[in-house]
Structure 1
Amino acid sequence: MENEASMGDELLNSIRIKIIRNSEKTDALEQFGWSEPRYPVMHRVPDVFRRQNEGVYEDVYNPITISLGPIHNGKKYLQATESIKVSYMHLLFDRTPSFRQTQEDCVTAMTVMEHDIRKCFREVELDDSVRLAEIILIDCCFLIELLYRNYRKEQDPILWNPFNCYAVHRDLLLLENQIPFFVLEKLFHLTVERIPEKMHQLSVPTLIECVRSFFGGMMGPDNGKTEYWYSRSPHHILHLLYFCFLPRISEEEWEKWEHSIKNKVAEFKFSAKQLDIVGVKLKQSVNSKHRFDLKFSISRRFCLWKRGQLEIPPFYIDESTEPFLRNLIAFEQCSPHLPNIITSYTSLMCILVNTNDDVELLEEAGIINNTLGSTKAVLHIFKDMRKNAVPRNFVYNQTWTEVKEFCTPSRVRSGKLMHIYFGKIWVRVSLVSGIVLFLLTFLQTFYSMFPYHHNPNQ
């Protein structure tokens, strides 16, 4: 009995200690859900995403040149840029009237914010407070100097090389390479906003303006003109760019999105080419409200034949598209309070793109703007992304249901028959036309070989 009592006391003490040590994580679980967390969360990419992308695509979530924050700090292959980051911090302090005063103020600010910063990285084990504050201070100052240099169009030793420029842009958009935005704002206020006005080209820029200038070309030329409209402060840079792509809606509409009923992707797997055969024309949307706004309409032709039209805004694809989309999807999946707009759009594109013919059709329609130079590269991106593009709430459920209802079984059968029948006729007409053209060309060449031609007037 005594052994059982002592064992019970020891177990009780052990449980109490674990509960006290884990209290912050318990608080985090209580606020987990559709409401936005009290502290910005610097997420790790879930292991399930990495397992789905084992091999060549695993590095889509890992930095290749520069690490920001504590998650990837200390990796050997990233050590080469650590001294560069310190140099950039020195250059940033040196822009202000008092180097020493700026340095001391930034250090003081970091000591005050360290507790809040630690809560943002609750998925990382952090023991040394001084080391954490040092990492965040150096990385923030490096990032601010880099953004400010780009805004002022100054020569930059990192961005002068096209490969380095792509690598840096890519690394700064990774989900695991983010820094709390409130820390960036505080240090921006203590550094850039202290620079004398005569040193600025026009006026003192804001941090958001510097970020938009740096990432202005992401996913198309319109992004540089898109303003950050969301009333709440972003968690990090990836969060800020996420809202730059979303439609401008009211707070009430946003609340409806956040608390919307889960809509799974409809069981409708028609690709772009198959929709075209059935009678749904895919067209680039001209007057769309935002880059993810889809519209479906039905019109009559010859008073009998119905023709559907699915309007999709243009989608720009380059080298940075895949890592950017994958990290945005991971961010949405890790943030229950966000609607799955990016994931839904990617899921829709994965359904539409199934063969090279689908890619070519979407390119001809102006929906896909491909700078990779290969339809196979685009096909490869969407085929591999299907594993991750599974939205909790498919925001295009209503539009996609309308398309599904339009594509009735009878329409599918008649569309396939017409495609096969007229396809064979077109092949025959093309073949006959080619033969006739060849004979005419041959006869013309043969006739021109004779220097003398009969002239009835001679």
Structure 2
Amino acid sequence: MSSFHSEDDHAIEDYVKHMAERINRVLLPKYGSDESEQPPTIYKVPQEIKSGNEDAYLPFAVKIGPLTPYRYRKGGDNQYERLEDYKWCCVQRLLGRHHLPQEPEKTRALLGRCLNSLRSLEPRIRASYPRDQRSISCINGKDLLCDVLLDGCFILHRLLKYASIAKREGAAASAPEVQASGGMDEEEDNDWTQVFGRCWVWGFVTYDLLLLENQIPFFIVESLFHHLRTNPDESSDILVSGALRLFRSLRPQPLHSSQIACRDVHHHLLHLFYQSVDLPATMPEPADNLRRFDGGVLEIPMLQLYDYSEHLLRNLIAFEQTYPLTPGHFTAYAMFMDCLVASSEDVRLLQHRGVVMNQMNGVRDKDQTWFFSCLRHGVHMAADRNYLGGVIAEVNKYQQARWPRWRVALVCNYYSNPWVATSLAAAVFLLALTFIQTFFAAYSYFKPPH
């Protein structure tokens, strides 16, 4: 009997030891790595959000970072091969800015400094991605450094190019009498020649750079910039200026770099674009009334819908759903609009009032109702974080009052049909005549004429 209890005690001790080891393995790495004090910033999009339109989260032209898998066409060729080759051209151009083609030793030394800098950042790079992603944990340091060097130089080249464009446009605006250069210089004008037969691909590249899974940490680009810049006094703010100029075509409203550049951290390009949006929580006092509800009238700023709007908004919402340190305003807006738009009649009313402007090709009113509902598919948000919570509460309170419900019933049941409305008006008129007749009859009875 004692031996039986002894065996049970040993078994329980083994279980306790095994579970304690398992708990320590799970809890020790708080975030992406043991040394990280911040949560990861680049995530795989959860499957419940992806379902319905997985292509909205996959790049079309260029692969950036380790999370995005390679895509192969039916013929077996890599969809991103052209731009993968172009990344090497970007490395060559950035090194060539230092005029070292005749000095290969100096070129190799500069390249070595870039790689050494990235090697020192490897723990931070890995910590920027969730540690449970096999695409991160299985890649060795050499391959990771090579990939982020190519991707970083590709992004750096795009940002410097558009920063130069923004600088020339600013100079032309401040001094109209001085003509800016008639076109881009040779380095900036020959992008289209690098991908023969796909001159239009650069528009898709811009979209691809704003996909959540298609990101690398922005500090990689900043590190490469500090080593590859030709002017040692040049600030990394030029990268922000270039990014906002690059993404200007995705927003009809002008983007301003002053408030964005002064912020300490830009995790990646999607985060930088996210910071550039004038969210109500960060706007000055008069603009806090961006969305008001007063006396049954709801004021909503205009939303312009383009062909790329769904993909862009999906990735911004996915960023809010995966990164905990965001206010969640895009998620709140999508949920608010989905509740507001329930039919094609609602869409037509919003278009008539100038709230929604449809610039999408071949999209009808019925499809726009689906547009808002698909954005919130698989999306969740705490009520206390919803910056539109006060507006929603006022709308619900107004809707539950008697007079608004009676007025809606009257309009829907009688004023929607002109014949019914005419009959109602005639009935009201006859009722008024009957009331007048009854009044004078009673008046003459109680006060007969003398």
User: Is the CA contact 1:226–1:244 (under 8 Å) kept in the aligned structure 2?
Assistant: no
Partners of 2:96 and 2:23 in 1: CA distance: 47
Partners of 2:223 and 2:372 in 1: CA distance: 39
Equivalent residue runs for 1:226-241 within 5 Å: 227-228=259-260, 231-241=263-273
Tell me if 1:335 matches 2:323. yes
Distance 1:427 1:372, change over 3 A: farther
Q: What is the match of residue 205 of structure 2?
A: 168
Residue from 131, 138, 142 that aligns with 2:143: 131
Q: What is the match of residue 48 of structure 2?
A: 48
Partners of 1:12 and 1:405 in 2: CA distance: 55
User: Counterpart of 1:399 in 2: which secondary structure?
Assistant: helix
User: Counterpart of 2:299 in 1: which secondary structure?
Assistant: strand
Q: What is the match of residue 275 of structure 1?
A: none
Q: What is the match of residue 417 of structure 1?
A: 410
Tell me if 1:110 matches 2:118. yes
User: Is the CA contact 2:125–2:217 (under 8 Å) kept in the aligned structure 1?
Assistant: yes
Cα drift, residue 183 of structure 1: 1.5
Give the letter aligned to residue 421 of structure 1.
Y
Q: What is the match of residue 93 of structure 2?
A: 91
User: Is the CA contact 2:45–2:318 (under 8 Å) kept in the aligned structure 1?
Assistant: yes
Q: What is the match of residue 294 of structure 1?
A: 291
Cα drift, residue 375 of structure 1: 3.2
User: Is the CA contact 2:48–2:378 (under 8 Å) kept in the aligned structure 1?
Assistant: no
Partners of 1:426 and 1:225 in 2: CA distance: 58
Residue from 314, 320, 332 that aligns with 1:326: 314
Partners of 2:227 and 2:34 in 1: CA distance: 35
Give the letter aligned to residue 425 of structure 1.
P
Give the letter aligned to residue 205 of structure 2.
V
Give the letter aligned to residue 273 of structure 2.
L
Distance 1:234 1:24, change over 3 A: farther
> Number of residues paired by the alignment?
372
Partners of 2:377 and 2:276 in 1: CA distance: 26
Tell me if 1:220 matches 2:252. yes
Equivalent residue runs for 1:56-71 within 5 Å: 57-71=53-67
Q: What is the match of residue 278 of structure 1?
A: none
> CA RMSD, aligned part only?
3.7
Residue from 54, 68, 72 that aligns with 1:72: 68
Residue from 186, 189, 194 that aligns with 2:230: 194
Cα drift, residue 422 of structure 1: 3.0
Tell me if 1:366 matches 2:354. yes
Partners of 1:358 and 1:224 in 2: CA distance: 34
Residue from 321, 342, 354 that aligns with 1:354: 342
Partners of 1:177 and 1:5 in 2: CA distance: 52
User: Is the CA contact 2:241–2:257 (under 8 Å) kept in the aligned structure 1?
Assistant: no
Tell me if 1:344 matches 2:332. yes
User: Is the CA contact 2:113–2:227 (under 8 Å) kept in the aligned structure 1?
Assistant: yes
User: Is the CA contact 1:288–1:313 (under 8 Å) kept in the aligned structure 2?
Assistant: no
Partners of 1:424 and 1:355 in 2: CA distance: 19
- Higher Cα Rg: structure 1 or 2? 2
Cα drift, residue 162 of structure 1: 7.0
Partners of 1:424 and 1:370 in 2: CA distance: 29
User: Counterpart of 1:235 in 2: which secondary structure?
Assistant: coil
Q: Deviations over 1:85-106 (max 9, x none)?
A: 2222222221234443431221
User: Is the CA contact 1:97–1:194 (under 8 Å) kept in the aligned structure 2?
Assistant: no
User: Is the CA contact 1:314–1:367 (under 8 Å) kept in the aligned structure 2?
Assistant: yes
Partners of 2:33 and 2:388 in 1: CA distance: 30
Cα drift, residue 142 of structure 1: 0.8
Q: Deviations over 1:205-255 (max 9, x none)?
A: 6111111111113243233678417734021111111121143757xx99x
User: Is the CA contact 2:321–2:379 (under 8 Å) kept in the aligned structure 1?
Assistant: no
Consecutive unaligned residues in structure 2, runs of 5 or more: 73-77, 101-106, 166-187, 423-450
Which has the larger displacement, 213-222 or 75-84?
75-84
Cα drift, residue 428 of structure 1: 8.6
Q: What is the match of residue 263 of structure 1?
A: none
Partners of 2:8 and 2:225 in 1: CA distance: 60
Give the letter aligned to residue 417 of structure 1.
L
Cα drift, residue 175 of structure 1: 0.8
Cα drift, residue 368 of structure 1: 1.4
Give the letter aligned to residue 305 of structure 2.
I
Distance 1:349 1:85, change over 3 A: same
Partners of 1:105 and 1:219 in 2: CA distance: 37
Cα drift, residue 195 of structure 1: 5.1
Q: What is the match of residue 260 of structure 1?
A: none
Partners of 1:143 and 1:337 in 2: CA distance: 25
Give the letter aligned to residue 227 of structure 2.
L
Cα drift, residue 415 of structure 1: 2.3
Tell me if 1:375 matches 2:411. no
Residue from 299, 306, 316 that aligns with 1:311: 299
TM-score by length of 2: 0.72
Distance 1:418 1:118, change over 3 A: closer
Partners of 1:60 and 1:104 in 2: CA distance: 37
TM-score by length of 1: 0.70
Q: What is the match of residue 381 of structure 2?
A: 391
Q: What is the match of residue 25 of structure 1?
A: 29
Cα drift, residue 288 of structure 1: 6.7
Distance 1:22 1:415, change over 3 A: closer
User: Is the CA contact 2:163–2:239 (under 8 Å) kept in the aligned structure 1?
Assistant: no
